[in-house]
Amino acid sequence: MKSRNKIAAETNLPAAAAGTETKPDFLLELLDWLKYILIAVLIGLLLVVFVIQRNSVIGNSMVPNLHDNDQLLVEKLSKLFHGIDYGDIITISTRNLPEHDEGPNIVKRVVGLPGDTIEIRADGVWRNDEKLDESDYLTEGTTTRIRNLAYAKVTLGADEYYVLGDNRDVSLDSRSFGPVPIKSIIGTVLLRFYPFAQFGAP
């Protein structure tokens, strides 16, 4: 009996030992999963803060190309590498803009880059003494009126941009508050993702 019990005890030893090893293995696996989840969350936060973000269109200053409550994805890297170009639609922080109450971010189109001379004339917008062809984004018959004589003709500084809304009659833009400094630019609009029927680059 003693030898039989001894054999039984010895046979049970590996099973007991295996049971004690499952707990640390489970904890290690859980910690491993938590590590990857934390990394994913950090990457997501970095993307939102430094690379891309969602913006809503508020108001009608970009009609007919963007409408109130359109949902946009905006990338933030272009401004860091001087990648903003003519015709780009950008989002702008209203904080510190002259003659503009601080409020929601605004969305406008770039018509002037650093070093350009922009002039609003009776027959349209002129850049470096050449009239702009804005037929790709303006409704036929649109008139661009002077809002503030101080900004009717402006030579842009090294970090300044001249922006206008596509709906010129209602848009509050560089005609009112002047050139936009690069520090006030949030990013460039990549695409509209809502409404779904109008998904794509505006």
**Is 61 in the active site?**
yes
- Given a contact cutoff of 8 angstroms between Cβ atoms, the answer to whether 55 and 150 are in contact is no
Catalytic residue, from 61, 171, 174, 184: name it: 61
Q: Report whether 12 contacts 20 (CB < 8 A).
A: no
191: three-class secondary structure by DSSP: strand
**112 with 161: CB under 8 angstroms?**
yes
List the alpha helices (DSSP H) in the chain.
2-46, 174-177
Active-site hit among 76, 108, 174, 184: 108
Region for 87 from its dihedrals, namely left if φ exceeds 0, alpha if ψ lies in -120 to 50, beta otherwise: left
131 is catalytic: no
Neighbours of 182 (CB within 10 A): 15
Q: Answer whether 126's CB lies under 8 Å from 104's CB.
A: no
Positions annotated as catalytic residues are: 61, 108
